[in-house]
């Protein structure tokens, strides 16, 4: 019996995901990038280049 290989993806925030399909994601320069929560995705959407270069701080919690 074969086991399915586990997919491991690193988020742009530095986290490790084993089920990336359950987390927010977006396309950036032709690649799919993943985020630990919606607050990080919103920060990315506001300034994608700034977020990816580290100029934008990682949001600490879900801000509404």
- Kindly list the distances between the CA atom of residue 5 and the CA atoms of 8, 16, 18, 41, 46, in Å, as whole numbers in the listed order: 9, 16, 10, 27, 35
Give the integer Cα–Cα distance in Å for 52 and 55: 8
Q: Is the pLDDT assigned to residue 3 strictly greater than 80?
A: no
Phi, psi (deg, nearest 5) at residue 28 = -140, 120
Q: What is the pLDDT of residue 21?
A: 92
Q: Is the pLDDT assigned to residue 64 strictly greater than 50?
A: no
Q: What is the pLDDT of residue 8?
A: 83
Sign of the alpha-carbon dihedral angle for 41, 43, 46, 49: negative
8-12, 21-25, 46-50: segment of lowest average pLDDT: 8-12
């Amino acid at each position: 019996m074969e086991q399915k290989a586990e997919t491991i993806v690193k988020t742009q925030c530095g986290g490790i995901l084993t089920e990336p399909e359950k987390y927010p994601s977006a396309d950036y320069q032709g690649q799919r990038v993943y985020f630990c929560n919606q607050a990080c995705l919103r920060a990315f959407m506001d300034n994608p280049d700034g977020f990816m270069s580290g100029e934008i701080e990682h949001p600490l919690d879900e801000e509404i």
